[in-house]
Structure 1
Amino acid sequence: MNEQDIREMIAGVKEGALSRRSFIKRMAAVGITAPLASQILAWNDVAMAQPADDYKPTKAGGGGPLKILLWQAPTLLNPHFASGTKDQIASRIFFEPLAGWDKEGNLIPQLAAEVPSKANGGLSADGKEVTWKLKQGVKWHDGKPFTADDVVFTWEYAADPATAAYTTGSYANIKVEKIDAHTIKVIFKEPTPFWADPFVGVAGMIIPKHHFGEYKGAKSREAPANLKPVGTGPYKFVDFKPGDILLGERNTEYHVKNKPQFDTLEVKGGGDAVSAARAVLQTGEYDYAWNLQVEDEVLKRMEAGGRGKVVAVKGGDVEFIILNTTDPWTEVDGERSSVKTKHPSLSDPAVRQAINLLIDRDSVQKFIYGRGGVATASFVNEPKQFKSTKLKYEFNIDKANKILDDAGWKKGADGIREKDGKKLKYVFQTSINAPRQKTQAIIKQACQRAGIELELKSVTASVYFSSDVANPDTYTKLYCDMEMYTTTQPQPDPERFLNQLVSWEIANKENKWLGRNVSRYSDPEADKAYKAAQKELDPVKRAALLIKVNEIFCEANVLLPVLSRTVVGASANSLTPDISGWEVTTWNLASWYRS
């Protein structure tokens, strides 16, 4: 397929002779991903319309209860404090963004009347302004009207440094203006190729001004609505016991016709991934179980029972390890792992390089994850145009030993390497989960053969992924030498995903450890490339800049990618869930139905 063929197909879409879906399928046939195909249409002034809705029920309600297992139990319901995926999932039940991402990487309007494009006048020619037209007739759960004032307030709330929001990075460098009661304009300081970040997806959930207006800034943690949400979503809040159970009921005035089908909603937290899978696939007690980080062979045996099915969706999630280059055992100004400190041994690039060689990624994939992941050396893996072709992984104990020998780390009588009185002994933490404990064990065994001792620490998932600033065991605190978890790429474009690799997003006491850069590592060249990518309108040059950011951190062996994770859940056979690998599980909960 040549350039002229593509241009003819684009013309066909504009004229209505070819559907967007058909265009995307034809592009996929020649190796061009769905998100990139959608971007090509957007660049050529083809409106990003919502694809045909496959929703089956002909009326809202009547579906009885919907029961979801979220075994990493939510602890709060404010989306702008939700650093953990579990809290983002729970918040998305009640709050909605202007638009979200479907499984094919299309941008779908939710609280917006339409997705901005050059064709409908929503995108300015200079790439600095985006105009959003809001859906009319939408009501908050308390009956108040949803207006542009709520969108403008959400920007003010999240952008205020004193609020210490997890989403600050999406709002800090923009200006938002109210045009009229149902129109807002987002103004960027520079030409911005990826404008679909503020008010979109996980970071974009709109909160009501009349419930949060008094709690912007320093009083943000005092808002009653942090635990008792009033949103616009398909289900209204009934009850919440943090770390346990969340209950909702159908929003009878939901703004989408014939949705939702279910009358009540129960989200049960706690337990573990195996028991969650069993409750759907074997006993049928629940309708859907999230994030089945379970050995694939175990899932296959459960599926044989016939009550449910595994739902696997490709996305941008990555299971990875952080090596801490700051000192987690020394406190400075009330915080450990401060950027004002230096790790006694992991600040040595040779040690980090050796540890990277001691991760047997292929075995982790083959014997533990199966359908749940693919071994990788890259932090960004999807879409393919943003994945580095330079990064490679290798499992080589002999090479790791030589690197450490050459760097002067000698084995002592106890077999542990040391230099200048510093031993290669580390605390390696992750959440309690069988595949993660097995992965830890594989890495520990290899490290022992290279003279590195690992103390394995496992933290209850609801604690590890908590947004509680007083909790020392959250992953954002990084109060250990190395840690492992999965981070979610919330949209097909990796720009926001990669802001966890920039210096201004470093997690610390000042931002209540909600900064997205958990590693604390920074590099001036990464910062420079990231800032350049934010205003580079040429898609090829922009992709190269974002790839550079990824490569800097991976080649420094601060981030050690292990697996490109597949989004794996379990669904009752009678349930049709709408799951996207670019969004949280509940992104389109209103469309779930039982046949």
Structure 2
Amino acid sequence: MKMKTMLMGAAATMAFGQMANAAAHEGERGRDGALGIIYWQAPSIMNAYLSGGTKDIEAASLVTEPLGRYDETGAPVAWLVDEIPTVANGGVAEDLTSITWKLSEGLLWSDGTPVTSADVKFTADYCMDPEGGCAQLAKFEGVESVEVIDDLTVKVNFAAPTPNPYGPFMGNQSPIIQAAQFAECTGTRAPECTDANFMPIGTGPFVVTDFRTNDVIQLEANSNYRDPMKPAFQTVTFKGGGDAEAAGRAVLQTGEFDYAWNLQLAPDVIAAMADGGVGTPVSAFGTLVERIEMNMTDPSSDLPEGERATAAHPHPFLSDEKVRRALSMAIDRDLLVEVGYGDAGRATCNLVPAPAMYASDNTDCLVQDIDGAKALLDEAGWTDTDGNGIRDKDGVEMNILFQSSTNAVRQDFQALIKDWWEQIGTSVELRNIDGSVFFGGDPGSPDTFQKFYADVEMYANNFDGTDPASYLASYTCEKAPRPDSGWQGENINRYCDPAYDALVAELNGTADLDERSRIAKKLNDMVTKESMTIVPLVDRGRVSAHANTLGGVLLNTWDSELWNAADWYRIKE
């Protein structure tokens, strides 16, 4: 039986059982005791604005929440408001230059103080502070100001008509933080506020009681949560670290934990674990793309600290578009899918693989062409002049440091890609870094994916909701991580093209859906098909797992996987 069919069938069976069981298990908050969650990439911070790592953003979503979310179908849903603002209900201005949010009445922070529009405005100011290095700055693209109308009403003003006004405060990447707690944590002081960043006051179903960086988080039910019957669990142990196989085994075989995230494992490994009958794997496609980022800057340790991997020094050979293209041509994406994901993966050339209206018809990369890659390098003047097997030009050899996070599938991919790249005349050194560190965002660490002290690196991420505007805006020039931003920023490979920036601005001001589709596809093609600064590999289905005794789970690829943890409950025999 194919893994995809198995997962869908199991999920459908579990969903039916959960529907019948849920009503019978309503009751007082904390009634179901302890919940165990395991993320093999351990969270290193609980502030979504200071990390681009999915594991940090998802852990934080148990505590801090946005005004609106996206459900498991990608549809927007009201969260801390009674309705999503639209033009039809008067929440979005007819000229598309503003959106007005009205908080639900009676919302409390976990410390018992009222949630007000001042907190919402503070959140925007916090992220948009030019000295703050906000990791989610693209969510506030085009925002001119945020103004408080009254205690429960806040208005976001855009510099130009903005057909998609749902960047700020929508989805798990843009939660509301408490102004009182973070008042002294703005600008350059943001990373210094350890208590606030590790133990934020939130509106979510749980509150942090103990945070151990890159290890374990202890949480308890928020006594001021807006629904008196939720969450069903009194405590949560959020374990981080290890590897995907151990995490899967802890849910699917031993039952030590209730939920395991992102089981990036070969399909036969997951299927064998599921045979134990203790837990159920769940899978869904969204916008998660495993890809290689090509460093457009020089990461050499010979450069002074503060100049490495910055625009001051272009990369000695990856600045050549033909080199990047040749490296892409050498890759057999179908084999990567077969080895790493089976039916839970699809070969892709796109950074934005979905929704369909935004997915480019770019298929140029799907056929491996080793001979063509060699010919292209010859044409570009990269030849082996000294007979050592490594191509060179003007005294520069093509020695590639290829890094990724520690994971069995990623190391398999690295080994295959190393072989293909060496076949076309490069030298490749592989490095793998613990995911908790790689995605941690620590400005003092040399090993984060944002700092990018390597030539190429491989990882995956995705975007909230179904509109890719904010995601595509993350590759504008000013969002490159830099020393003066604490190495925060979403433009990981330091790509910079004024034409791209101008097209992002055009997308933000375009209302017609067909035209938005055209522009988004063009932006996708600019960073993939045309420039090859991003080399997509696999459109990954998200695969996670939950215990058979855990009800209420709805796998969500458009928001946090933990988006509805307040609705989870223990299924009784």
TM-score by length of 2: 0.92
Residue 475 (str. 1) matches residue 453 (str. 2): no
Q: How far 1:257 moved relative to its partner?
A: 4.8
- Among residues 185, 190, 203, which one is paired with 1:232 in the alignment? 203
Residue 583 of structure 1 aligns with which residue? 559
CA distance in 1, matches of 2:536, 2:20: 36
> What is the deviation of 1:332?
5.3
2:168 to 198, 211, 217: 198
Cα distance in 2 for partners of 1:592, 1:106 equals 20
- Equivalent residue, structure 2, for 1:182: 152
Q: Corresponding residue for 2:8?
A: none
The letter of the residue matching 1:580 is: N
Looking at structure 2, the residues matched to 397 and 275 of structure 1 have their Cα atoms a distance apart, in angstroms, of 36
For the Cα contact (< 8 Å) 2:109–2:224, is it kept in 1? no
Correspondence for 1:86: 55
Partner amino acid for 1:579? L
Q: Answer yes or no: is the 8 Å Cα contact 1:234–1:250 preserved in 2.
A: yes
How far residue 169 of structure 1 moved from its aligned partner, in angstroms, is: 2.9
Partner of 2:11: none
- In the other structure, the counterpart of 1:43 is none
Per-residue CA deviations over 1:327-378 (Å, capped at 9, x if unaligned) read 1105357131111112111111211111001111100101221133211011
Counterpart for residue 563 of structure 1: 538
Distance 2:21 2:53 in 1: 31
* Worse-matched range after superposition: 327-336 or 88-97: 327-336
Q: State yes or no: 1:345 paired with 2:317.
A: yes
Give the equivalent residue in structure 1 for 2:549.
Answer: 574
Q: Partner residue of 1:32? A: none
- 2:90 aligned counterpart, secondary structure: coil
Q: 2:110–2:223: 8 Å Cα contact kept in structure 1?
A: no
Identical residues among aligned pairs (%) = 39
Whether the 8 Å CA contact 2:348–2:537 is kept in 1: the answer is: yes
Shift of 1:227: 1.4
DSSP-derived class of the 1:175 partner = strand
With the length of structure 1 as denominator, give the TM-score of the two structures.
0.89
The one-letter code matched in structure 2 to 1:474 is T
Q: CA deviation at 1:285?
A: 0.7
Secondary structure of the equivalent of 2:62?
A: helix
CA positional deviation for 1:170: 2.5
1:115-130 equivalent positions in 2, closer than 5 A:
115-130=84-99
Aligned to 1:502: 476
Contact kept in structure 2, 1:391 and 1:551, CA below 8 Å:
no
Count of matched residue positions in the alignment of Structure 1 and Structure 2? 544
Q: What is the alpha-carbon distance in structure 2 between the residues aligned to residue 557 and residue 522 of structure 1?
A: 13
Counterparts of 1:474 and 1:76 in 2: how far apart (Å)? 14
8 Å CA contact 1:324, 1:558 repeated in 2: yes
Q: What are the superposed Cα offsets for residues 288-330 of structure 1, whole Å, 9 maximum, x if unpaired?
A: 1011111111001111111111111221111100111211105
Q: Distance in 1 between matches of 2:370 and 2:535?
A: 16
The CA distance in 1 between the partners of 2:425 and 2:111, in whole Å, is 61
Distance 1:164 1:501 in 2: 15
Once the two structures are TM-superposed, the CA of residue 155 in structure 1 deviates from its matched residue by 1.3
Moved more, 180-189 or 430-439: 180-189
Residue deviations 1:36-65, cap 9 Å, x none?
xxxxxxxxxxxxxxxx99964422331111
Which residue, 84, 92, 109 being the options, matches 2:78? 109
SS at match of 2:57: helix
Is the CA contact 1:327–1:341 (under 8 Å) kept in the aligned structure 2? yes
**Partner of residue 292, structure 1:** 263
Residues 1:413 and 2:387 aligned together? yes
Structure 2 counterpart of 1:275: 246
Structure 1 residue 395 corresponds to structure 2 residue 364 = no
Distance 1:92 1:477, change over 3 A: same
Distance (Å, rounded) in 2 between the aligned partners of 1:109 and 1:54: 26
2:521 is aligned with 1:547? yes
8 Å contact from structure 1 (residues 160, 168) kept in 2: no
SS in structure 1 at match of 2:246: helix
Which range moves more in the overlay, 543-552 or 402-411? Answer: 402-411
Distance 2:20 2:382 in 1: 61
Decide whether the 8 Å contact of 1:578 with 1:589 is kept in 2. Answer: no
Q: Single out whichever of 510-519 and 412-421 deviates more from structure 2.
A: 412-421
- State the match for 2:16 in structure 1: none
Please state whether the residue corresponding to 1:161 is helix, strand or coil: coil
CA, structure 1 residues 260+385, in 2 after alignment: closer, same or farther (shift >3 Å)? same
Whole-angstrom CA distance in 1 between matches of 2:425 and 2:465 = 41
Cα distance change of structure 1 residues 186 and 550 upon mapping to structure 2, 3 Å threshold: same
Name 1:37's counterpart in structure 2. none
Say which SS state the counterpart of residue 237 (structure 1) adopts: strand
Label 1:190 to 1:301 Cα distance change in 2 as closer, same or farther (>3 A). Answer: same
Determine if the alignment matches structure 1 residue 459 to structure 2 residue 433.
yes
Structure 1 unaligned residues grouped into runs of 5+: 1-51
- Once residues 545 and 360 of structure 1 are traced to their aligned partners in structure 2, the CA distance between those partners, rounded to angstroms, is 29
AA aligned opposite 1:305: G
Partner Cα separation in structure 1 for residue 84 and residue 121 of structure 2 = 18
Q: What is residue 232 of structure 2 aligned with on the other side?
A: 261
After superposition, residues 290-439 of structure 1 pair within 5 angstroms as 290-329=261-300, 330-331=302-303, 334-393=306-365, 394-411=367-384, 412-439=386-413
More deviation, 464-473/403-412: 403-412
Instruction: Choose the corresponding residue for 2:26, options 38, 42, 58.
Output: 58
Is 1:525 aligned to residue 499 of structure 2? yes
Partners of 2:50 and 2:191 within 8 A in 1: no
Q: Which amino acid aligns with 1:405?
A: D
SS of equivalent residue, structure 1 residue 117:
coil
User: In 2, distance between residues paired with 1:82 and 1:53?
Assistant: 39
3-state DSSP of counterpart to 2:341 = helix
* Offset, 1:121: 1.5
CA deviation after TM superposition for structure 1 residue 95, in Å: 0.4
Q: 2:75–2:465: 8 Å Cα contact kept in structure 1?
A: no
Contact 2:463–2:471 (CA under 8 A) maintained in structure 1: yes
Q: Is this contact kept in 1: 2:131–2:484, CA < 8 A?
A: no
Q: CA deviation at 1:403?
A: 1.1
Deviation at 1:116, TM superposition (A): 0.8
From 140, 157, 166, the equivalent of 2:135 is: 166
Letter in 2 for 1:242: T
| Separation in structure 1 between the aligned mates of residue 136 and residue 315 of structure 2, nearest angstrom | 29
Match of 2:218 in 1: 247
SS at match of 1:571: strand
What letter matches 1:139 in structure 2?
L
Q: Which residue of 2 aligns with 1:222?
A: 192
Separation of aligned partners in 2, 1:331 and 1:339: 12
Alpha-carbon deviation of 1:552? Answer: 0.7
**How far does residue 435 in structure 1 lie from its aligned partner after superposition?**
0.3
One-letter code aligned to 2:388:
D
- The aligned residue for residue 73 of structure 1 is 42
Describe the SS at the equivalent of 2:172. Answer: helix
Give the 3-state SS of the residue equivalent to 2:368 in structure 1. coil
Partner amino acid for 2:81?
A
- State the structure with bigger RCO (CA 8 A, min sep 6), 1 or 2: 2
The 8 Å contact of residues 307 and 313 in structure 2, kept in 1 or not, is answered as: no
* Counterpart amino acid of residue 138 in structure 2: G
SS at match of 2:245: helix
* 281-290 or 112-121, which deviates more: 112-121
Structure 1: how far apart are the matches of 2:172 and 2:360?
A: 25
* Aligned residues of 1:134 and 1:183 also touching (Cα < 8 A): yes
Secondary structure in 1 aligned to 2:392? Answer: strand
What root-mean-square deviation, in Å, do the aligned CA atoms of Structure 1 and Structure 2 show?
Answer: 1.7
